Structure 1
Amino acid sequence: MYKPYLSAFCALTLLACGDNVNRLESGEQSGTAEELARTEQPSDHAGGDWTNLLVDGDLEPWHSYNQDAAGSAWKVDDAGVLYLDTSNKGEHGVVGGGDLTTDESYSNYELELEWKIGECGNSGLIYNVKESADLESSYYTGPEMQILDDSCHPDAKIVTHRSGDLYDMITADPVNVKPAGEWNSIRLVVTDGHVEQWQNGELVVAYDNTGDEWDAMIAESKFKNWEQFGQYTSGKISLQDHGDPVWFRNIRIRQLDAK
């Protein structure tokens, strides 16, 4: 008495398998093109070899913004993790801190790193930075990919101030940040004025930082009266000292070929 049911089951299975084969042969894939593009790693960019920016605890490629060397509050632990020691704070913030900034300037590059933030903490990855004696911080020139504990930092109440956002300008989509204390990944791709911000393996922000649309975004942001903000398509890279504990590891960069 089980044979009719078995035959029916086999027939349905063959139909389903045939449908799947037809889908594969026709090139049809699950998920929309947009979804696939968002999760595709941008590894198709032609470029040079990767350079580690943190090797054996060496902060030689870095300095605090507008300083000659890295501030004493930026430290590397025995596991090779870079962190900001916030235990000594003065009137103007962390003593020996400041935005940790690369010695080199970069154009057309791909940057990867991992980060985690302390509870209710705030930091950021700031890029296309120019140093100037009349500017006290990297964010006066460079756009920022926000690093934040979205669960409890007050900035999270503002939709363009959350982790992965182009700070005060573009909201990250999708929202995929992990909780404070857990590692998150960043991939930043800058090519000929086009920027991609990737967080935890997904494209969350993409934009062009030249042209009328970019100028309009600046005009509608808190940076509208900052003459040098967002005026560069290349520059240095900074890890922000916002006065909160933050950790970074596996920091590497490579130059990309111009289009």
Structure 2
Amino acid sequence: MTRTAAIRTSLLSLACSAWLLVACSPAPTATPDAAAPDTASPQPDAAAGTGAPVGDEAGFVPLFDGATLTGWHLYRKPGAPVSGWSVVDGVLTRTAASGDLISDRAFGDFDLRFEWKISPGGNSGVFYRAAEDEEAAYWTGIEYQILDNERHPDGRNGPDRHAAAVYGMYAPDGARTVPVGEWNQGRIVARGAHVEHWLNGVKVAGYELWTPEWKARVAQTKFKDWPRYGMLPKGHIGLQDHGDEVSYRNIRIKEL
């Protein structure tokens, strides 16, 4: 073989080897892009931002059935006809002078959720852990304040009188109500001595019962005249008749 032919043969052999190497090599494996979003990851639910985990309604039972006043009675008047409170289209409304409406059952540790709507210039409240053997529910029960902050005179008596306050005790921090006449979301969580008030998905107050700090606050208020105020580990839920129209709906509770 001539020198020229030998060179031509060697070059042809190298070319064939290179072609075989490329053809037989496995296809490159794709690597994840660190900057690319993980579309398979769960995305925030539209209901998130309400201050409570999505889907945490499990275990709640209606405290108001949306059709009748079953499970409720006027304070210190069990079995008596209830006037002044009406039920229309799933809404419970105080329409005339009658007295506070309280639950038949008493509750200790609970998560209470409800919606409320106040009339212009209106005032009401939700009592909890209230006894029924005193002159008034507020002698023992603590109050989640319901108020038209702008129009009712109590709105000018200090932030501890504003909507969602622990009435007369703790002002709500970061509370934002919707316009008067629209529905707000209220929530009260009581577990032993620890209590929280929520408004429209935001925790606006939290406190510890029966501590020296709590007792010192009570001593500076009208509640000092009622030694059982805030002292009961268990009691009734109450809806206050403060002389104004107020509506409630979707009242539900989970015992903890």
After TM superposition, is the score higher than 0.5? yes
**Closer, same or farther in 2 for the Cα pair 1:129/1:44, shift >3 Å?**
farther
**Which is further off, 208-217 or 117-126?**
208-217
Match of 1:83 in 2: 93
For 2:174, the aligned partner's letter is P
Query: SS state of the match for residue 105, structure 2?
Result: coil
Contact 1:164 1:177 in 2 (8 A): no
Match of 2:222 in 1: 222
Once the two structures are TM-superposed, the CA of residue 40 in structure 1 deviates from its matched residue by 3.4
Aligned-partner Cα distance in 2 for 1:64–1:43 = 35
Once the two structures are TM-superposed, the CA of residue 216 in structure 1 deviates from its matched residue by 1.0
Once the two structures are TM-superposed, the CA of residue 208 in structure 1 deviates from its matched residue by 0.9
For 2:109, the aligned partner's letter is N
Aligned-partner Cα distance in 2 for 1:229–1:80 = 32
Match of 2:8 in 1: none
Contact 2:50 2:200 in 1 (8 A): no
**Closer, same or farther in 2 for the Cα pair 1:75/1:208, shift >3 Å?**
same
Answering whether residue 48 of structure 2 is matched by residue 49 of structure 1, we say: no
Contact 1:190 1:196 in 2 (8 A): yes
User: Alignment partner for residue 74 of structure 1, among 85, 89, 102?
Assistant: 85
| Superposed CA RMSD | 2.3
Match of 2:74 in 1: 64
Match of 2:135 in 1: 136
Structure 1 unaligned segments of length 5 or more: list them: 1-16, 22-37, 87-93
Once the two structures are TM-superposed, the CA of residue 56 in structure 1 deviates from its matched residue by 4.3
Partner deviation per Cα, 1:99-123 (whole Å, 9 max, x = no partner): 1100101111111000001110000
Contact 2:66 2:250 in 1 (8 A): no
Deviation beyond 3 Å, 4+ runs, structure 1 = 42-45
Match of 2:236 in 1: 236
**Closer, same or farther in 2 for the Cα pair 1:215/1:244, shift >3 Å?**
same
Number of aligned residue pairs: 210
**Closer, same or farther in 2 for the Cα pair 1:122/1:56, shift >3 Å?**
closer
Structure showing greater radius of gyration is 2
Structure 2 unaligned segments of length 5 or more: list them: 1-33, 38-48
TM-score w.r.t. the length of structure 1 is: 0.76
Once the two structures are TM-superposed, the CA of residue 137 in structure 1 deviates from its matched residue by 1.7
Partner deviation per Cα, 1:88-108 (whole Å, 9 max, x = no partner): xxxxxx1xx111100101111
Contact 2:66 2:249 in 1 (8 A): no
